[in-house]
């Protein structure tokens, strides 16, 4: 008896593969639309709301009054001059390569972007008529990652030991709680910067892991907000 075998394609496997790809595509599209919708909602909130300027006054050593506030566009020039100056003050700072080419207009755009965001912040500390401290916080623009962020900050060297850094950090934590968006704050600090690490520990930050970044050893510190 002659037996004839006919090979037929495995349509089930083909359909299953197509189904998996369709599900994956739909998931990606849904995620992108969700993030886009969130961004649009943020823009609408900014357009329709009068943004309240965060500011807080504190009395520090020698009865001096420290004003910590959100940066405004008219402070762009002072902020740039401050950043140039602190580069010469401390070896602990990590400064972006493009800082030498920053313009007042670009800094104004950056300040405006922070002011129009619910998850980015730019705080400056004023002592009399001088900028003495600076903190820039940012989180991810994507909705799923927005609750966590990192920051960089500094205090001018001649004003070390006055408690300015602690007050600026407290202001950041205060802003983050009020935002109802930020739940985790993380940053890196040079492992040999013992003074800063002691301040961060007092404020509830804990070391999580060592990090080799460039020529220096760093420690990643983190705090989760209630």
Per-residue pLDDT of 7-27, as tens digits, reads 455 545 555 556 566 656 566
pLDDT band per the 50, 70, 90 thresholds, residue 3: very low
Provide the pairing of β-strand 148-155 with 130-139. Answer: antiparallel
Mean pLDDT, to the nearest integer, of 141-154? 67
**What CATH class does 55-180 carry?**
alpha beta
- Largest Cα span, the chain: 109
Among 6-10, 124-128, 163-167, 202-206, name the one with the lowest average pLDDT: 6-10
Each residue of 43-91: pLDDT tens digit? 444 444 445 788 899 999 889 999 999 999 999 999 999 988 887 776 5
pTM, entire model:
0.69
Q: Any idea which of 37-41, 112-116, 188-192 has the lowest mean pLDDT? A: 37-41
Task: Give how far Cα 181 sits from Cα of 5, 74, 138, 200, Å.
Answer: 64, 27, 12, 22
């Amino acid at each position: 008896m002659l037996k004839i075998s006919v090979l037929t394609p495995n349509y089930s496997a083909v359909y299953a593969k197509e189904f998996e790809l369709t599900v994956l595509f739909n998931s990606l599209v849904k995620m992108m639309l969700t993030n886009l919708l969130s961004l649009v909602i943020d823009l609408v909130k900014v357009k329709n709301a009068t943004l309240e300027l965060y500011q807080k006054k504190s009395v520090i050593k020698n009865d001096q009054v420290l004003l910590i506030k959100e940066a405004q566009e008219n402070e762009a020039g002072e902020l740039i001059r401050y950043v140039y100056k602190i580069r010469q003050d401390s070896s602990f700072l990590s400064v972006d390569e493009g800082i030498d080419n920053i313009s007042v207009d670009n800094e104004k755009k950056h300040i405006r972007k922070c002011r129009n965001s619910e998850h980015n912040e730019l705080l400056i500390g004023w002592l009399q008529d001088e900028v003495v401290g600076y903190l820039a916080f940012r989180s991810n623009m994507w909705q799923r990652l927005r609750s966590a962020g990192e920051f960089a900050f500094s205090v001018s060297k001649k004003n070390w030991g006055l408690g300015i850094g602690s007050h600026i950090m407290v202001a950041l934590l205060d802003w983050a709680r009020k935002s109802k968006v930020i739940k985790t704050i993380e940053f890196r600090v040079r492992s040999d910067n013992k003074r800063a690490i002691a301040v961060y520990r007092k404020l509830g930050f804990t070391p999580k892991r060592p990090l080799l970044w460039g020529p220096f050893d760093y420690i990643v510190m983190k705090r989760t907000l209630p």
